[in-house]
Protein backbone atom coordinates (compact mmCIF):
# COMPACT_ATOMS: atom_id res chain seq x y z
CA UNK A 1 0.00 0.00 0.00
CA UNK A 2 1.57 3.29 -1.11
CA UNK A 3 1.82 5.85 1.65
CA UNK A 4 3.33 9.18 2.56
CA UNK A 5 6.15 8.75 5.06
CA UNK A 6 7.08 11.43 7.57
CA UNK A 7 10.01 11.51 9.96
CA UNK A 8 10.44 11.94 12.82
CA UNK A 9 7.09 10.96 14.31
CA UNK A 10 7.78 12.96 17.47
CA UNK A 11 10.26 15.70 18.24
CA UNK A 12 10.85 17.49 21.52
CA UNK A 13 13.30 20.35 21.41
CA UNK A 14 14.26 23.47 23.29
CA UNK A 15 13.43 26.95 22.15
CA UNK A 16 16.05 28.30 19.76
CA UNK A 17 17.04 24.93 18.31
CA UNK A 18 16.74 24.03 14.64
CA UNK A 19 14.11 21.47 13.67
CA UNK A 20 14.00 19.59 10.37
CA UNK A 21 10.99 17.50 9.34
CA UNK A 22 11.09 15.18 6.35
CA UNK A 23 8.48 13.80 4.01
CA UNK A 24 8.63 11.11 1.35
CA UNK A 25 5.63 11.53 -0.97
CA UNK A 26 3.94 8.64 -2.74
CA UNK A 27 5.90 7.63 -5.82
CA UNK A 28 4.44 9.28 -8.90
CA UNK A 29 2.73 12.09 -7.02
CA UNK A 30 3.80 15.48 -8.35
CA UNK A 31 2.47 17.76 -5.59
CA UNK A 32 3.47 17.99 -1.92
CA UNK A 33 1.64 20.06 0.70
CA UNK A 34 2.80 20.99 4.22
CA UNK A 35 0.11 21.67 6.84
CA UNK A 36 0.28 22.53 10.52
CA UNK A 37 -2.50 21.41 12.84
CA UNK A 38 -3.33 22.87 16.24
CA UNK A 39 -6.47 22.75 18.35
CA UNK A 40 -6.97 26.49 17.92
CA UNK A 41 -6.26 26.90 14.20
CA UNK A 42 -7.08 23.52 12.70
CA UNK A 43 -5.20 22.54 9.53
CA UNK A 44 -3.28 25.53 8.18
CA UNK A 45 -1.58 25.38 4.82
CA UNK A 46 2.05 26.38 5.12
CA UNK A 47 3.49 25.69 1.67
CA UNK A 48 3.21 23.43 -1.32
CA UNK A 49 5.20 22.30 -4.32
CA UNK A 50 4.42 20.92 -7.73
CA UNK A 51 7.14 19.11 -9.64
CA UNK A 52 9.50 20.30 -6.89
CA UNK A 53 8.80 23.98 -7.61
CA UNK A 54 7.25 26.04 -4.81
CA UNK A 55 3.74 27.22 -5.73
CA UNK A 56 2.71 29.06 -2.60
CA UNK A 57 4.37 29.55 0.76
CA UNK A 58 2.31 32.51 1.91
CA UNK A 59 1.08 30.59 4.95
CA UNK A 60 4.56 30.15 6.32
CA UNK A 61 6.35 32.56 8.70
CA UNK A 62 9.23 33.43 6.41
CA UNK A 63 11.66 34.61 9.05
CA UNK A 64 12.02 31.19 10.66
CA UNK A 65 10.43 28.58 8.39
CA UNK A 66 11.75 27.22 5.12
CA UNK A 67 10.51 24.45 2.86
CA UNK A 68 12.37 22.69 0.07
CA UNK A 69 12.20 19.70 -2.23
CA UNK A 70 15.78 18.66 -2.94
CA UNK A 71 14.47 15.82 -5.11
CA UNK A 72 11.19 14.20 -6.09
CA UNK A 73 11.31 11.73 -3.21
CA UNK A 74 12.05 14.17 -0.39
CA UNK A 75 10.43 17.32 0.96
CA UNK A 76 11.76 19.11 4.02
CA UNK A 77 10.35 21.69 6.41
CA UNK A 78 12.83 23.50 8.60
CA UNK A 79 12.28 25.80 11.57
CA UNK A 80 15.20 27.89 12.78
CA UNK A 81 15.06 29.08 15.50
CA UNK A 82 12.11 27.18 16.95
CA UNK A 83 9.73 28.79 19.44
CA UNK A 84 7.14 27.32 21.84
CA UNK A 85 4.31 28.63 19.62
CA UNK A 86 5.55 26.30 16.85
CA UNK A 87 4.38 23.31 18.90
CA UNK A 88 1.88 21.50 16.68
CA UNK A 89 1.45 18.46 14.46
CA UNK A 90 2.97 19.00 11.04
CA UNK A 91 1.44 17.01 8.20
CA UNK A 92 2.76 16.36 4.75
CA UNK A 93 0.33 15.33 2.02
CA UNK A 94 0.91 14.38 -1.60
CA UNK A 95 -1.28 14.11 -4.66
CA UNK A 96 -1.38 14.50 -8.41
CA UNK A 97 -2.44 17.94 -9.62
CA UNK A 98 -2.29 19.95 -12.80
CA UNK A 99 -4.20 20.26 -16.04
CA UNK A 100 -6.42 17.24 -16.49
CA UNK A 101 -5.65 15.79 -13.06
CA UNK A 102 -7.78 15.93 -9.95
CA UNK A 103 -6.77 13.47 -7.27
CA UNK A 104 -7.32 13.71 -3.51
CA UNK A 105 -4.45 14.36 -1.15
CA UNK A 106 -2.95 11.49 0.81
CA UNK A 107 -1.58 12.38 4.23
CA UNK A 108 1.39 11.15 6.19
CA UNK A 109 1.04 10.38 9.91
CA UNK A 110 2.51 13.71 10.90
CA UNK A 111 5.37 14.95 13.05
CA UNK A 112 4.31 15.99 16.54
CA UNK A 113 6.61 18.86 17.52
CA UNK A 114 6.95 20.14 21.07
CA UNK A 115 9.14 23.17 21.70
CA UNK A 116 9.88 23.85 25.37
CA UNK B 1 -10.37 35.82 1.52
CA UNK B 2 -11.07 32.12 0.94
CA UNK B 3 -13.08 30.50 3.68
CA UNK B 4 -14.37 27.02 4.53
CA UNK B 5 -16.87 26.81 7.39
CA UNK B 6 -18.17 23.67 9.06
CA UNK B 7 -21.06 23.12 11.41
CA UNK B 8 -21.60 21.97 13.99
CA UNK B 9 -18.09 22.10 15.43
CA UNK B 10 -18.90 19.21 17.72
CA UNK B 11 -21.66 16.70 18.04
CA UNK B 12 -22.53 13.84 20.39
CA UNK B 13 -24.98 11.19 19.23
CA UNK B 14 -26.04 7.70 20.23
CA UNK B 15 -25.25 4.60 18.23
CA UNK B 16 -27.82 4.08 15.52
CA UNK B 17 -28.56 7.78 15.05
CA UNK B 18 -28.24 9.49 11.67
CA UNK B 19 -26.07 12.61 11.50
CA UNK B 20 -25.66 15.38 8.95
CA UNK B 21 -22.49 17.42 8.86
CA UNK B 22 -22.40 20.72 7.00
CA UNK B 23 -19.72 22.48 5.03
CA UNK B 24 -20.07 25.86 3.35
CA UNK B 25 -17.41 27.68 1.41
CA UNK B 26 -16.49 31.00 -0.09
CA UNK B 27 -13.59 30.57 -2.45
CA UNK B 28 -12.60 31.93 -5.80
CA UNK B 29 -11.85 29.46 -8.59
CA UNK B 30 -13.53 26.41 -7.05
CA UNK B 31 -12.44 23.03 -8.41
CA UNK B 32 -13.61 20.35 -5.99
CA UNK B 33 -14.72 19.69 -2.43
CA UNK B 34 -13.23 16.90 -0.35
CA UNK B 35 -14.25 15.16 2.86
CA UNK B 36 -11.74 13.51 5.18
CA UNK B 37 -12.05 11.54 8.42
CA UNK B 38 -9.40 12.05 11.09
CA UNK B 39 -9.11 9.73 14.02
CA UNK B 40 -5.91 9.83 16.02
CA UNK B 41 -3.46 10.30 13.19
CA UNK B 42 -3.61 11.29 9.53
CA UNK B 43 -6.76 12.46 7.80
CA UNK B 44 -8.07 9.72 5.52
CA UNK B 45 -9.92 10.48 2.31
CA UNK B 46 -13.67 9.88 2.09
CA UNK B 47 -15.11 11.68 -0.92
CA UNK B 48 -14.28 14.11 -3.69
CA UNK B 49 -17.17 16.09 -5.17
CA UNK B 50 -16.94 18.17 -8.31
CA UNK B 51 -20.49 18.30 -9.68
CA UNK B 52 -23.67 19.58 -8.07
CA UNK B 53 -26.46 17.20 -7.18
CA UNK B 54 -24.61 13.94 -7.67
CA UNK B 55 -24.54 11.90 -4.48
CA UNK B 56 -21.41 9.98 -3.62
CA UNK B 57 -21.95 6.96 -1.41
CA UNK B 58 -19.75 4.56 0.51
CA UNK B 59 -21.50 2.18 2.87
CA UNK B 60 -23.33 4.22 5.49
CA UNK B 61 -21.68 7.48 4.40
CA UNK B 62 -22.92 9.71 1.63
CA UNK B 63 -22.24 13.24 0.48
CA UNK B 64 -23.62 15.76 -1.96
CA UNK B 65 -22.52 19.14 -3.27
CA UNK B 66 -24.55 22.24 -4.15
CA UNK B 67 -22.34 24.59 -6.19
CA UNK B 68 -25.06 27.21 -6.49
CA UNK B 69 -25.54 27.56 -2.75
CA UNK B 70 -21.87 26.80 -2.03
CA UNK B 71 -22.26 23.99 0.45
CA UNK B 72 -21.96 20.27 0.94
CA UNK B 73 -23.34 17.80 3.46
CA UNK B 74 -21.96 14.54 4.75
CA UNK B 75 -24.51 12.05 6.03
CA UNK B 76 -23.78 9.09 8.24
CA UNK B 77 -26.62 6.67 8.84
CA UNK B 78 -26.85 4.07 11.63
CA UNK B 79 -23.81 5.54 13.37
CA UNK B 80 -21.36 3.27 15.18
CA UNK B 81 -18.75 4.04 17.83
CA UNK B 82 -16.11 3.58 15.13
CA UNK B 83 -17.49 6.66 13.38
CA UNK B 84 -16.21 8.82 16.24
CA UNK B 85 -13.67 11.15 14.64
CA UNK B 86 -13.11 14.64 13.34
CA UNK B 87 -14.61 15.11 9.89
CA UNK B 88 -12.79 17.65 7.77
CA UNK B 89 -14.09 19.45 4.72
CA UNK B 90 -11.63 20.93 2.23
CA UNK B 91 -11.89 22.90 -0.97
CA UNK B 92 -9.48 22.61 -3.86
CA UNK B 93 -9.08 25.64 -6.09
CA UNK B 94 -8.28 25.66 -9.76
CA UNK B 95 -5.60 28.28 -9.20
CA UNK B 96 -2.52 26.19 -8.52
CA UNK B 97 -4.75 23.46 -7.01
CA UNK B 98 -4.49 25.00 -3.55
CA UNK B 99 -6.37 22.96 -0.91
CA UNK B 100 -7.75 24.69 2.18
CA UNK B 101 -9.48 23.02 5.09
CA UNK B 102 -12.34 23.91 7.37
CA UNK B 103 -12.05 23.62 11.17
CA UNK B 104 -13.64 20.18 11.29
CA UNK B 105 -16.62 18.66 13.08
CA UNK B 106 -15.80 16.49 16.06
CA UNK B 107 -18.28 13.62 16.18
CA UNK B 108 -18.63 11.39 19.24
CA UNK B 109 -20.84 8.33 19.00
CA UNK B 110 -21.74 6.86 22.37
CA UNK B 111 -23.07 3.34 22.89
Rounded mean pLDDT, A69-86: 96
Is B90 exposed, middle or buried, given 0-12, 13-18 or 19+ CB atoms closer than 10 A? buried
Residue B100 CB contacts under 8 Å (≥ 6 apart), including other chains: A45, B2, B4, B27, B90, B91, B93
Our CA-based measurement puts residue B9 at a distance from the nearest CA of chain A, in whole angstroms, of 11
Report the Cα A104 to chain-centroid distance in Å. 17
On chain A, the residues whose CB falls within 8 A of the CB of B45 are 104-106
CA dist A16 and A25 (Å) reads 29
Buried-state track B43-68, b at ≥16 Cβ within 10 A, e below 16: bebbbbbeeeeeebeeeebebbbeee
Instruction: For chain B, say whether A89 makes contact (Cβ under 8 Å).
Output: no
Interface test with B, best of A6, A24, A32, A43 (most B CBs within 10 A): A43
What is the model's pLDDT at position B6?
Answer: 97
Q: Nearest chain A residue to B3 by CA: give it.
A: A44
Of A4, A43, A106, which is closest to B101 when you measure between CB atoms? A43
pLDDT (tens digit per residue) in A26-62 = 999 999 999 999 988 899 999 999 999 999 888 898 8
Of A48, A104, A110, which is closest to B45 when you measure between CB atoms? A104
CA dist A90 and B69 (Å) reads 33
Of B32, B98, B103, which is closest to A42 when you measure between CB atoms? B103
- When comparing pLDDT for B29 and B61, which is higher? B61
What is the model's pLDDT at position B43?
Answer: 95
Q: Comparing C-alpha atoms, which of B54, B43, B39 is closest to residue B90?
A: B43
B41 touches A37 (CB < 8 A): no
Our CA-based measurement puts residue B77 at a distance from the nearest CA of chain A, in whole angstroms, of 24
On chain B, the residues whose CB falls within 8 A of the CB of A4 are 42
Instruction: For chain B, say whether A2 makes contact (Cβ under 8 Å).
Output: no
A70 touches A78 (CB < 8 A): no
In the predicted model, is pLDDT for residue B14 greater than 90? yes
Angle at B87 between CA B41 and CA A76, to 5 degrees: 40
On chain A, the residues whose CB falls within 8 A of the CB of B48 are 102, 104
pLDDT (tens digit per residue) in B16-52 = 999 999 999 999 889 999 999 999 889 999 999 998 9
Residue B8 CB contacts under 8 Å (≥ 6 apart), including other chains: B21, B22, B105
pLDDT (tens digit per residue) in B47-60 = 999 989 899 999 99
B59 touches B2 (CB < 8 A): no
Amino acid sequence: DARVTQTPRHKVTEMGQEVTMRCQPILGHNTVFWYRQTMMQGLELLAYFRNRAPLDDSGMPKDRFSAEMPDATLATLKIQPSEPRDSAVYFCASGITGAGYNSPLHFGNGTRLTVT
Amino acid sequence: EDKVVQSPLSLVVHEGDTVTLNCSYEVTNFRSLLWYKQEKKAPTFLFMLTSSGIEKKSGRLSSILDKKELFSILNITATQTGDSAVYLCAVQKTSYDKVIFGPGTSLSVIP
